[in-house]
C-alpha cells in the first residue's frame, strides 16, 4: 500500500503583516516537535508581501515548515501589471501555490482554462500546485457535487502527464463550508476525495492516483480534524481561518 505523508496547509488569505507573520511562525515552530513536523508536513500560505519574511524565518532558523503562495500568474513574464510569476515564487523558495481557490474563481472570474494554465505554469517553475475543486450550495442541493468536482479536476489537469500529476496536490473544498463554520461531514469529505482519486485512476492509472495527495478544506479546526483525517482518501487539510491562530493550527498538525 502507498503511504501518503499528511499535509496541513494554512491559507492565511489577505491577513497578517510582516510582524504578525513572524510571530505566528515562531509560535508554530515552538509548538511542534521535530518528529511531529516530520510525520506531518506543515505548510503556510501567506500573502505575497509576507513571503520574504517567511523565507528569512524558515531558512534562518531551519524551521521544518514549508511555505507557498495563494495564487500565481499563468504567464512567465512580461507586461502583466500586478501579476506574480511562478519563477518569482520559486526564487523566494516557495514549494507550493494554491490554484483555483473558490474565492479566486468567484471574485476574479477564474475559469477552468485559466486554472489549468496556472497549474501548468506552477509545475513549469518547479512548484507544487494545490488545485482546488469544490461545489456551491446550489450544485450540492441538486446532488451534482461529485460530477461537478470530477469535471473541475479533469479540466484543471488537462495536458498533464502522469509524472506531472504525481507532483500535484488536490484540495476538495465545498464552497458552502468555507469560512462558514459549516464543516462537511467526514463522510461528505470522503465521498468527493474518493471520487477525485477514482477520476485520477481513470485519467491516468491506479498507481498514479494512489500517489496523489487529496486534501479536504472547509472550516477545519482542531476539534474536527481527526475525524476527517480518519477517512482513507483524505490526506490532509487546507485550513483558512483556523490557520491564523498558531496554537490551533499546531493542534491541527498534531492530529494523529
Give min distance, CB of 207 to ligand PEP, in A.
29
Check 41, 110, 173, 191 and give the catalytic one: 173
Residue 13, annotated ligand binder? yes
Say how many C-beta atoms besides its own lie within 10 A of residue 68's C-beta. 26
Query: What is the Cα 181 distance to its own chain's centre?
Result: 19
Binding to ligand PEP by residue 239, rule CB under 6 A? yes
For position 117 contacting ligand PEP by CB under 6 A, the verdict is: no
Site map 201..230 versus ligand PEP, x via CB under 6 A: ----------------xxxx----------
Q: How far apart are CA 163 and CA 161, in angstroms?
A: 5
Closest CA to 175 of 228, 139, 199, 147: 139
Residue 199: C-alpha distances to residues 36, 112, 176, 190 (Å): 32, 16, 23, 14
Per-residue binding letters, 3-32, with ligand PEP (x by CB under 6 A): --------x---------------------
Nearest-angstrom CA–CA distance, 189 and 174: 9
Per-residue binder mask for ligand PEP (CB under 6 A), 151-190, x = binder = ----------------------x----xx-----------
Rounded CA-CA distance 91/125 in Å is 9
Is 173 noted as a catalytic residue in this protein? yes
Complex with ligand PEP: residue 95 or 164, whichever CB lies closer: 95
Instruction: Tell me the residue nearest to ligand PEP as measured from the CB.
Output: 240
CA distance 179 to 67: 21
Q: Which parts of this chain interact with ligand PEP (CB under 6 A)?
A: 11, 173, 178-179, 217-220, 238-242
Q: What residues form the annotated binding site for substrate?
A: 11-13, 179, 219, 240-241
Amino acid at each position: 500500500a502507498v503511504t501518503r505523508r499528511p499535509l496541513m496547509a494554512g491559507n492565511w488569505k489577505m491577513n497578517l503583516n510582516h510582524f504578525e507573520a513572524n510571530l505566528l511562525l515562531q509560535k508554530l515552530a515552538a509548538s511542534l516537535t521535530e518528529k511531529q513536523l516530520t510525520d506531518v508536513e506543515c505548510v503556510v500560505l501567506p500573502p505575497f508581501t509576507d513571503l520574504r519574511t517567511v523565507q528569512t524565518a524558515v531558512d534562518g532558523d531551519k524551521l521544518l515548515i514549508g511555505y507557498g503562495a495563494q495564487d500565481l500568474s499563468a504567464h512567465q513574464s512580461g507586461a502583466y501589471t500586478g501579476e506574480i510569476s511562478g519563477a518569482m515564487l520559486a526564487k523566494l523558495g516557495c514549494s507550493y501555490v494554491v490554484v483555483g481557490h473558490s474565492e479566486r474563481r468567484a471574485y476574479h472570474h477564474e475559469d477552468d482554462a485559466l486554472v489549468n494554465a496556472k497549474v501548468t505554469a506552477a509545475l513549469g517553475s518547479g512548484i507544487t500546485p494545490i488545485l482546488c475543486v469544490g461545489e456551491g450550495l446550489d450544485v450540492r442541493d441538486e446532488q451534482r457535487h461529485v460530477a461537478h468536482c470530477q469535471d473541475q479536476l479533469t479540466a484543471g489537469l488537462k495536458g498533464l502527464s502522469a509524472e506531472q500529476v504525481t507532483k500535484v496536490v488536490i484540495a476538495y473544498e465545498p464552497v458552502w463550508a468555507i469560512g462558514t463554520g459549516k464543516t462537511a461531514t467526514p463522510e461528505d469529505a470522503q465521498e468527493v476525495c474518493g471520487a477525485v482519486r477514482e477520476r485520477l485512476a481513470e485519467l491516468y492509472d491506479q498507481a498514479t492516483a494512489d500517489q496523489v495527495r487529496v486534501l479536504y478544506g472547509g472550516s477545519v479546526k482542531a476539534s474536527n480534524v481527526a475525524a476527517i483525517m480518519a477517512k482513507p482518501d483524505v490526506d490532509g487539510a487546507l485550513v483558512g481561518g483556523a490557520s491564523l491562530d498558531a496554537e490551533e493550527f499546531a493542534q491541527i498538525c498534531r492530529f494523529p
